Structure 1
Amino acid sequence: MVMQFPALGSRRAIIDRRAISDTINALAMEHRGDSARLRAAIVQELKAALDEGRAEVARRLEAKPTRGRESVTAFAFLIDQILRLLYDATTHHLYPAGNRSTGERIALIAVGGYGRGEMAPHSDVDIGFITPWKPTGWTEQVIESMLYSLWDLGLKVGHSSRSIDETMRMAKADLTVRTALLEARYVWGDRALYEETSVRFDAEVMQGNARAFVTEKLEEREERHKRMGDSRYVVEPNVKEGKGGLRDLHTLFWIGKYVNRVRSVAELVDVGLLTQLELRQFQKAEDFLWAVRCHLHTITGRAEDRLTFDLQLETATRMRFTGRAGRSGVERFMRYYFLNAKIVGDLTAVFLAHLDDQMAEKGRRYIPSIFRRPKKLDGFVLERGRLSLPSDDFFQADPVRLLEIFAVADKHGLQIHPSAIRAASRDAGLITAKIRKDARANAAFLQVLTSPRDPETVLRWMNESTVFGRFVPDFRRVVAQMQFDMYHHYTVDEHTIRAVGLLSRIEKGELPQDHPLATDLMGKILSRRVLYVSVLLHDIAKGRGGDHSLLGAEVAEHLCPRLGLTPAETETVAWLVRYHLLMSATAFKRDLSDYKTILDFVDVVQSPERLRLLLCLTVVDIRAVGPGVWNSWKRQLLGDLYESAEEVLRLGHKQKGRGERVIVKQETLQRALGIDDDAFAAFSKRLPESYWIAEPDDILFHNAQHILAAGESPLSIAAQYYPQRGATLVTVYAADHPGLFYRVAGAIHLAGGNIIDARIHTTRDGVAIDNFLVQDPLGGAFHSPDQLKRIRNAIEDSLSNRHRMITKLAARPLPRTRAEAFRIEPNVLIDNKASNRFTVVEVNARDRPALLFSLANALFQSKVTVHSAHVATYGERAVDTFYVTDLFGGKIESKARLQTLERRLLEAAGGEVGEALERA
């Protein structure tokens, strides 16, 4: 009999089965004839043994925090012994059967991951009870008693009870059952019954359908990846199910076991599906990923497999990752995680290539290929439709070929054979400073980067082979580097490659509805390769402990000449990298109806070509951050800024200047309203120029209907779904007074809303027309009539002083948010130069419910008037900007008043809502 868990040491420190068995035998003597008390005593004894065993496994993990295999093996061993003790106690003492028939036999098997001999601390205990035929009364009693005892032990049990025939039938019909049984392992009971089941499974289920199994498992894997975000570089990865996680490694083993009948991962080497080096990589990645998963279970006390931000911090600490060289401990830990996830991806590719080669020799293949034969391949060859090497030393003979293989693959639309990728990974160290300066190498790299075909795919191959990082050492520094925040969904290298891919798709006209302006501008850009290089370099200096825009510009100044760019192109790339955040910061955090905002922006941009390049770079940078970050609201704000800036840069060449734009908007609105000139003139002269510039045509129409319908009413509130922005538009038309903004903000929060933007206007006769864009706390719009009514009623109650809103807000429990995993020091910036008319106040703080209300209340207490508010969130960080004046309409100039304003805003930004309001 093969010894289970041969590498596990000090087994009796985990659980001493013999000693516990003796204790149970003594208990049986003590409680003879009282099976209920005996079962309770057995469970109590096993519970104590389970708790002590778990504590020992936890101590071992704490002592060796990166050795996950040891922990999961130890825990599987512990569960084995618990099950054996329980089985013996149940069949010998609780339900003894003197003369069992041949049908009264049970084999207890472990299936799934537990069958493989691996268990995280809170994983399900997946077991099967096998009987020869239909269960008898005795077998039913034993199985039911064991299950109740396991549940009483607090274990989460996945179980099945089947005859051998039923097991075969289920395995043939269900892929999940077939996969679980593939790793079935004998635990206890009738061994002959287990052996018969194993032999029949091999003969009746596995024989002759390996190809179908592989196809199904690969399809299942693809579906799982899509569900989990389809990238191994998402910043909150699922350690078990995500791309590059444990399930991917297990899938390789399942396929190898099904096709070649291997019993262990090490045997994959013997059958040619892994090399010795790849086996070591497999085991190292698996060890680390298991360690992470065990820590997650231990920290949370449950089967938690998602590495969320709050758990990343504690896991990194437990695994003893400390900060160094500009990176925090958690960032170093996550970088190591992603490097291991990358290894899993690389292993998957070479494993499937080996499998493909095996099946090709047998005349059939698992993985489809492209069969095309271009004539000129620069010395490379085709191996069943994929680009490969004529000899194993091809790269060593001329290391420039390490770049050229990717250029050839791009040019001819070919896949690269995994054996060639593996050789490139092995030989990437041949890329020295000499090769980096080689004109052929740089031309090949630039050809891939600026390809009109599919640069994203080829750059990803180049990155996964490590050639990318070797050729551009600055890029190597950001490979697998995560940013510990809720805004960025991917690692820096993945974000960058996705941005290049988005730029290519926009250029090819594939995203005209999402990005109409960028699509139009790509055809007008004169410096195409400047744009692609700037996208590549915009984040290349992240993680260096300084301003990555400034540091990145320095990288660009050194790298661009090497790539073959002219001095003028180099200057433009460096400028774009230096200012790649300027356009989004201006559009999202400043009032675009304030003419000085536009002039200050144009003063930095200076040319129409730079403006076009910056717009395209900004769009792909934002969209490549992750799903859901780009939206129509951002598209409109960037478009408005572009249009306004272009008018200034091309003065005299545009038909519509600022004044002309206002006239056109007014003419369009009058036609839509269908009212005569006198009525419209009376209406339009009430509204300042800034209002006409700030609001788009559809909002102008909605506001005009609202104002005209309100007539002489002192208060009118409207709330409606606004699909163009994916939000609810709330409009308040009321007599203006200093507390109006904070009261409306508080009421919207009380109604369950989250303000994402506010545009505040005052008519020339002292009436406020304020537009708020509101979403629910999860980023969706309010749709139902009840929700819209609740918002209207809450605002009306607040403005009518029907209740003490501050008391209600302070009493309202605030939901805990994921943002609480981050510490952000609040910061207040007050600028009297950004606008000719207003004092501009920018507040940076951790995002939380009612933050905007707290800030608005602090402004009210400081006796300032808010003229516009601009709310931007970057994950856990909120950046709220207010354009304010004193109560007489002037800028706030007094040093004492500015200091008081800053202090109040800092208190509001840093405290909880109750604390901020107590001081109100």
Structure 2
Amino acid sequence: MSEAINIPSFIVTLDNKESTHAEKLSAGRNVLKTFTDYQFQRYEQGAAVAELLKERSTFIDQILKKMWQLMINNENSALLAVGGYGRGELHPYSDIDLLIICDNCEESCDEFSQFITFLWDLGFDVGHAIRSFDECYETGLEDVTIATNLLEARWITGNYEQFERLQQLWNKSSNYWPSRAFFEAKFDEQTRRHKRFNDTIYQLEPNIKESPGGLRDIQNIFWVAKRHFNAHSINELVQRNFLSPEEFVEIEAASKYLNRIRFALQHQKKRREDRLQFDLQQNIAESFGYEDNSEKMAVEQFMSGYYRNVQTVVKMNEILMQHFREILFDDESGFEKPINSHFKNVNNYLDISHPRVFEKNPTALLEAFIILESLPELQGLRSNAIRSIRDHLHLINDSFRNDPINKALFLEIFRQPSGVNAAVKRMHGYGVLGAYLPVFKKITGLMQFNIFHAYTVDDHTILVIRNLRRFFVDEFAYEFPTAHQVAKKLCKPEVLFLAGLFHDIAKGRNGDHEILGAVDALEFAEHHNLSKKDADMISWLVRRHLDFSGIAQKKDLSDPKVIQYFAKLVGDQQHLDYLYLLTVADVCATSPDVWNDWKNSLFLELYNETTKVLALNINSPKDRENKALQTQEKAREILAKRDISTAQFNALWSSFSDTDFFSRQTPPEVARMTKLLYQLPHDDNHVFLREQTNRGASELIIYMPDRDFLFAHIAYVLDRLNTDVVEARVFGSNDKMTLVVLYFLDRDTQNYIEAQRHEEILQSVKYQIEQDEIGDLEQRQQIASRRIRHFETPTEIEFDQINDGITELSISTKDISGLLARIGCALKSENIRLHDAKIHTVGEKAEDVFLISDTDNHAIKSKERQQRLTEKLLEMINK
């Protein structure tokens, strides 16, 4: 250790009665800072993190021992290290957890208080407890977390007999937290912790310590082993033949890797930090030596490495915790029943009948999962079986993949009436899926560095299959009622599951993954002797799996030409049904928060309107004019039932005769708006707000004297009100009135606004539309979320001529704060009229589509004017 770290000098200052409190603190802080800087320097030079953690624990030990000797006079008390400090795994800014154990603690209360306070003043994050032995005993019985601290407590200084009394609690003869009870409590604790992270290792910003597959899962193995075997390290499990040397190497490597990341996090942040945040991922990737290449960014390579390591921890945790369960509970029932010559049921867990099952019959590597599907009483695999599967993955080679029996078995896994999701998830977890499908192995742990995809490609794929499977189960019909009804019509669910398996199989390659993946899917289907019809369907679904969501969220679904185009694309109802189900499952598997009622309404609208066209419904119009006439006829019928005659609203309808008002609304919408507007005076601004609509979003209607560029004002105020606009329609009437129909969501909940916000939003909108100018965008709080701010998203602007009167403007850019207001200001500045807006946010990226014209309702055809508008948009977006 560096001589510059002068602990004795600090102790002398501390012991010097003439030293002031400030001098003592200054000396202590200097020693701590010097040591931390020294450790960071060693880390940067490549020192092993495990060595640095032990070194820091030893360093803190020395300081605490000296301070204890100088400050504590109670000879019956002891100072113990617990938690990570107790294990000798102390990171630079981690808590220092202490237990002071004493007799008659109240007699030394002031001394203990001064001791802890001084540690806080030095800058330590101290977690502490002061208890007698009896108090330790009782609180430990009540709380397994406290009991765990007692289990791994380490003596630092003071009365050693106090420490020995604690140690005796864990003797074999002791009934204090027996092994079974302790195991159950720690397993339940782990299960609850995993649920807090949605039972997945794949988080956008994972917690290195607490997430599934994190350091806590490794520690849990150690705690259970220490209680049962009195082991002092996981390495001792090898000596007891509980863990193989190869497994120990795996888990030790993962532990070192995770600790290295945790140390790097604290090195970067200069404070306690366990979350692998976006803004740190790139920096750490670079510090670990990763570099961008043609296929992957450095950060994606780094995160793939992280996911591989936590996956190892998850596997080993499952195997070892299952092994502990078998040791601790098998003798309670001793149930064992042969299933066939390869497998047996042991206490409702599947086990191999003899050690050479897979060696003699490799086909059993797939058979195991079909048995799990077909026998619901089986809760999983025995640790012995899991280990044997992992040890024999090398048997899954080209010969294995070409075996007709194995090919049939693999397909049969996807054809089973139940257990498909669990089987596929287990196959993936144990390495069978990647071994059987090398193309799937390539996407295992593949991370996409964006906010939209919360999971790695492989985990996303497993979630897609899970979602697809749930569509067929009555128990989950309430989640997606339409999807459930559609799924019930399909006679070959396995076609859908296989399409889900392959839909992202080509991610990470150069080229369009949907095109490349369709080729892989077709090769797989033909290799597995599927019928041409099924093979073509699977390949087509992979090829077109992006089309449904793209059209639903970016195109004008009120335009018959859009529906006609999509109907031609899918061809028939069966293709539409399969694609709808795959799309919903895919979108819901990208992130826990991505699906909402608004998206659901868009998807249902596209599905239902396309279904009508495919059924050759005579009521399905071929163009906007026919649709407008049909809408008027049906709306007139609705209004007549409400005793509103044509004569009463004829003037209103006539004023919209030159617009798309009737073709872009449904008959009930036209009837409702007619009733709302037909009696309103034309010399005032009218604003109406509905918190909830059947479209899954809140609705804002503005009817006021002619006002071009109104959208900019509305977008500005709604952004300041923390809402997200998802769609806007603007109609200019021939009697000099403007109608805006706009749908929006609460930004935080991505759902309807709450009723109590009604008046605030209504009054704010009314005020803003009366203003001549928009507020200063520079004063807008445009600090994007930490996640979004970190991404470099290029702005792409495209123009497409829809007809002589409309140009489609597509803008793809970073989802910055106030984006729509900025776009609205740019349109206003260039005298561009907005007719329609479709707002689509994908993680950190906004993909918005606007239908625009000049103020004379002519399309923007001039390249020069398009260029001017592009420059203005870029100026406002980058402002």
Name the TM-score, length of structure 2 as normaliser. Answer: 0.93
Q: Hey, what does 1:94 align to over in structure 2?
A: none
Cα distance in 2, alignment partners of residues 591 and 114 from structure 1: 60
Q: Deviation at 1:462? A: 0.3
| Contact in 1 for aligned 2:796/2:811 (Cα 8 Å) | yes
Q: Deviation at 1:530? A: 2.7
> What secondary structure does 2:703 align onto?
strand
Q: Deviation at 1:698? A: 6.7
Q: Hey, what does 2:830 align to over in structure 1?
A: 862
> What secondary structure does 1:865 align onto?
strand
> What secondary structure does 1:869 align onto?
strand
> What secondary structure does 2:392 align onto?
helix
Q: Hey, what does 1:225 align to over in structure 2?
A: 194
Q: Hey, what does 1:268 align to over in structure 2?
A: 237
Q: Deviations over 1:880-911 (max 9, x none)?
A: 100112222222211211222222223333x1
After TM superposition, list the pairs within 5 Å mapping 1:335-734 onto structure 2.
Answer: 335-360=304-329, 362-363=331-332, 377=340, 379-413=342-376, 414=378, 415-525=380-490, 528-652=493-617, 659=627, 662=631, 665-666=634-635, 669-670=638-639, 673-679=642-648, 683-684=652-653, 686-687=655-656, 690-695=660-665, 699-700=669-670, 703-708=673-678, 710-722=680-692, 724=694, 727-734=697-704
Distance 1:665 1:581, change over 3 A: farther
Distance 1:703 1:181, change over 3 A: farther
Q: Hey, what does 1:41 align to over in structure 2?
A: 23
| Contact in 2 for aligned 1:669/1:701 (Cα 8 Å) | yes
Identity rate, percent: 28
Unaligned residue ranges in structure 2 (runs of 5+):
none
| Contact in 2 for aligned 1:68/1:292 (Cα 8 Å) | no
| Contact in 2 for aligned 1:15/1:78 (Cα 8 Å) | no
Distance 1:361 1:707, change over 3 A: closer
Q: Deviation at 1:685? A: 5.0
Distance 1:278 1:615, change over 3 A: same
Distance 1:868 1:447, change over 3 A: same
Cα distance in 1, alignment partners of residues 302 and 445 from structure 2: 10
* Aligned positions, number: 871
Cα distance in 2, alignment partners of residues 364 and 253 from structure 1: 27
Does 1:24 pair with 2:6?
no
Cα distance in 2, alignment partners of residues 697 and 222 from structure 1: 51
Q: Hey, what does 1:815 align to over in structure 2?
A: 783
Q: Deviation at 1:868? A: 0.5
Q: Hey, what does 1:306 align to over in structure 2?
A: 275
Q: Which amino acid aligns with 2:361?
A: D
Cα distance in 1, alignment partners of residues 647 and 831 from structure 2: 38
| Contact in 2 for aligned 1:483/1:491 (Cα 8 Å) | yes
Distance 1:326 1:249, change over 3 A: same
Q: Deviation at 1:775? A: 3.1
Cα distance in 1, alignment partners of residues 25 and 683 from structure 2: 74
Cα distance in 2, alignment partners of residues 704 and 409 from structure 1: 60
Cα distance in 2, alignment partners of residues 788 and 359 from structure 1: 59
> What secondary structure does 2:826 align onto?
helix
Cα distance in 1, alignment partners of residues 640 and 186 from structure 2: 61
Distance 1:749 1:467, change over 3 A: same
After TM superposition, list the pairs within 5 Å mapping 1:40-59 onto structure 2.
Answer: 40-59=22-41
> What secondary structure does 2:495 align onto?
helix
2:46 equivalent among 56, 64, 72: 64
Q: Hey, what does 1:9 align to over in structure 2?
A: none
Name the TM-score, length of structure 1 as normaliser. Answer: 0.89
2:92 equivalent among 121, 126, 131: 121
| Contact in 2 for aligned 1:549/1:579 (Cα 8 Å) | yes
Does 1:885 pair with 2:853?
yes
Q: Deviation at 1:326? A: 0.7
Cα distance in 2, alignment partners of residues 712 and 744 from structure 1: 20
Q: Hey, what does 1:760 align to over in structure 2?
A: 730
Q: Hey, what does 1:73 align to over in structure 2?
A: 54
Cα distance in 2, alignment partners of residues 354 and 575 from structure 1: 44
Distance 1:695 1:305, change over 3 A: farther
Q: Deviation at 1:364? A: 6.5
| Contact in 2 for aligned 1:482/1:491 (Cα 8 Å) | yes
Cα distance in 2, alignment partners of residues 393 and 201 from structure 1: 39
Q: Which amino acid aligns with 1:112?
A: G
| Contact in 2 for aligned 1:15/1:81 (Cα 8 Å) | no
Distance 1:698 1:781, change over 3 A: farther
Cα distance in 2, alignment partners of residues 297 and 334 from structure 1: 18
Q: Deviation at 1:268? A: 2.4
> What secondary structure does 2:350 align onto?
strand
Q: Which amino acid aligns with 2:8?
A: S
1:280 equivalent among 227, 243, 249: 249
Distance 1:290 1:52, change over 3 A: same
Q: Which amino acid aligns with 1:233?
A: Y
> What secondary structure does 1:502 align onto?
helix
Q: Which amino acid aligns with 1:640?
A: E
Once the two structures are overlaid, the 10-residue window that deviates more, 659-668 or 876-885, is 659-668
> What secondary structure does 1:263 align onto?
coil
Q: Which amino acid aligns with 1:192?
A: E
Unaligned residue ranges in structure 1 (runs of 5+):
1-11, 92-96, 98-102, 366-370, 916-920
When the two chains are superposed, the root-mean-square deviation of aligned CA atoms in Å is 2.7
Cα distance in 1, alignment partners of residues 578 and 757 from structure 2: 42
Q: Hey, what does 2:70 align to over in structure 1?
A: 89
Cα distance in 2, alignment partners of residues 599 and 841 from structure 1: 21
> What secondary structure does 2:722 align onto?
coil
Distance 1:591 1:449, change over 3 A: same
Cα distance in 1, alignment partners of residues 705 and 533 from structure 2: 56
Cα distance in 1, alignment partners of residues 150 and 205 from structure 2: 31
Distance 1:673 1:512, change over 3 A: farther
Cα distance in 1, alignment partners of residues 743 and 719 from structure 2: 12
Distance 1:568 1:889, change over 3 A: same
Q: Deviations over 1:141-172 (max 9, x none)?
A: 33222212211111111011112222222222
| Contact in 1 for aligned 2:180/2:329 (Cα 8 Å) | no
> What secondary structure does 2:542 align onto?
helix
1:320 equivalent among 277, 289, 300: 289
Q: Hey, what does 1:134 align to over in structure 2?
A: 105
Q: Deviation at 1:567? A: 2.7
Once the two structures are overlaid, the 10-residue window that deviates more, 281-290 or 190-199, is 190-199
2:712 equivalent among 726, 733, 742: 742
| Contact in 1 for aligned 2:99/2:129 (Cα 8 Å) | yes
Q: Hey, what does 1:145 align to over in structure 2?
A: 114
| Contact in 1 for aligned 2:799/2:808 (Cα 8 Å) | yes
Cα distance in 2, alignment partners of residues 335 and 397 from structure 1: 35
Q: Deviation at 1:769? A: 2.5
Once the two structures are overlaid, the 10-residue window that deviates more, 672-681 or 814-823, is 672-681
Distance 1:655 1:724, change over 3 A: closer
Cα distance in 2, alignment partners of residues 836 and 446 from structure 1: 53
Once the two structures are overlaid, the 10-residue window that deviates more, 668-677 or 899-908, is 668-677
Q: Deviation at 1:470? A: 1.0
| Contact in 2 for aligned 1:593/1:691 (Cα 8 Å) | no
> What secondary structure does 2:474 align onto?
coil
| Contact in 2 for aligned 1:518/1:616 (Cα 8 Å) | yes
Cα distance in 1, alignment partners of residues 471 and 845 from structure 2: 29
Q: Which amino acid aligns with 2:293?
A: R
Cα distance in 1, alignment partners of residues 670 and 56 from structure 2: 66
Q: Which amino acid aligns with 2:7?
A: I
Cα distance in 1, alignment partners of residues 775 and 847 from structure 2: 23
Cα distance in 2, alignment partners of residues 443 and 764 from structure 1: 68
Q: Which amino acid aligns with 1:123?
A: S
1:791 equivalent among 739, 755, 761: 761
Q: Deviation at 1:836? A: 7.1
